[in-house]
Structure 1
């Protein structure tokens, strides 16, 4: 049985590593386009395209939307021509999808002409795995000069929003406000410091109800917090150090947006035990 489990584990790990390797190669091909644009290196750009690749730009004028096609050759000529300023296109919120030998990369972008913010939009790349090499078969993009600055500040604003959300969540508990549980998704998981403490939201509420009948349920304050944003704008995760009655605790969690509202999908709270105190703690636990 153990041998079989090890076999399955090896298969899972090999599939996972393979998927990561493919994603790395796909993004390398996509980033080569922008590296070539910055350096006026049309040969580099050509190397990551299929020879019959096509390009489309979505054009919206007078209430009409058209997909304007251009050729790969014209694109390469434009890259290789002399520019007074650098063509610098930068991607944000890159999302990679892979199905066998087909892949798609969706990303927000900002295009700079030298240091001037020129336009922004969305890039959609389609790629195929051709004899072990990922090649671009199509690019479709949108272009706009409106609200481009928001793409730069959006990441900071989302992190600020999530910091406020988490601070309010902890404040709800400090004030015994049951809005605390409304900030957890219905299927959200809360894991406490005790080995028995793993609850789905409503189970957690049943257990914690007696604490919320007091003036304050518990009072945890974040000393620091790191927030990480997914390429999917509806997901984020974080870790934080909390000042609690137990001393410093470390917690981590996952956040998911439901119909525009952030909810806690998973939260785990852990007591932080100094390494030099570990043996003492183990002895106390074993002698309970």
Structure 2
């Protein structure tokens, strides 16, 4: 019974890390963002093409049309430096209101002692309109009682109409 309670406690703690990750992204707080990662953690962002609506049962792409593009593969430190540079470049300039949100109810967490993985759906809106959606796959480690992100892979697909948008990774 204790093992089940511990896993439930760890699952809640991991989902809290995921929420804090998104809170830091939405606040453009790179210090907070970095605090959720282990040193030298890896980050990969891949995009699926072509753009499709989330409920794409009516508009499936053919196998010949579907491709995966690696947008970035780096360490978290280098990614945070890129975010800082982008923040400085956008400072004082108008732009869309960006909001990223996880689906914590749809998040699947697997735990093996001090190691865990989480498959977490998410969506990103620009001025309230869905821009892209996908899955964040987190690899986490528990160090000194605290869960930290060791690696993160984001797979996303744009919704139709945003094909030429390069404003986000």
What is the TM-score when the length of structure 1 is the normalising length?
0.42
The reply to whether residue 142 of structure 1 matches residue 146 of structure 2 is no
Give the superposition deviation at 1:114.
Answer: 3.6
How many aligned positions are there?
135
Q: Which deviations, in whole Å up to 9, do the C-alpha atoms of 1:139-184 show, x marking residues without a partner?
A: 111121248xxxxxxxxxxxxxxxxxxxxxxxxxxxxxxxxxxxxx
- Are the aligned partners of 2:22 and 2:102 in contact in 1 as well (CA < 8 Å)? no
Q: Output one character per residue of 1:49-97: Cα deviation in whole Å (capped at 9) or x when no partner.
A: 0111111122457765454413312432354415534432112311111
Specify the alignment match of 1:95 in structure 2.
108
Give the distance between the partners of 2:24 and 2:157, measured in 1 at CA: 23
**Does the aligned pair in 1 maintain the 2:48–2:157 contact within 8 Å?**
no
The Cα shift of 1:113 comes to 2.6
Q: Which has the higher helix share?
A: 1
Aligned position for 2:77 = 73
**Helix, strand or coil: the match of 1:27?**
helix
Considering Cα pairs closer than 8 Å and 6+ residues apart, tell me whether 1 or 2 has the greater RCO: 2
Distance in 1, Cα, partners of 2:110 & 2:25: 24
Bigger-Rg structure (1/2): 1
Distance 1:40 1:86 in 2: 12
Q: Is the 8 A contact 1:37 1:79 kept in 2?
A: no
* C-alpha separation in 1, matches of 2:67 and 2:145: 40
- Counterpart CA distance in 2 for 1:135 and 1:27 is 11
Specify which of 25, 28, 31 is matched with residue 40 of structure 1. Answer: 28
Structure 2 residue runs of 5 or longer lacking an equivalent are 50-64, 161-169
Query: What 5-or-longer segments of structure 1 have no aligned partner?
Result: 1-11, 148-288
Q: Distance in 1 between matches of 2:77 and 2:129?
A: 26
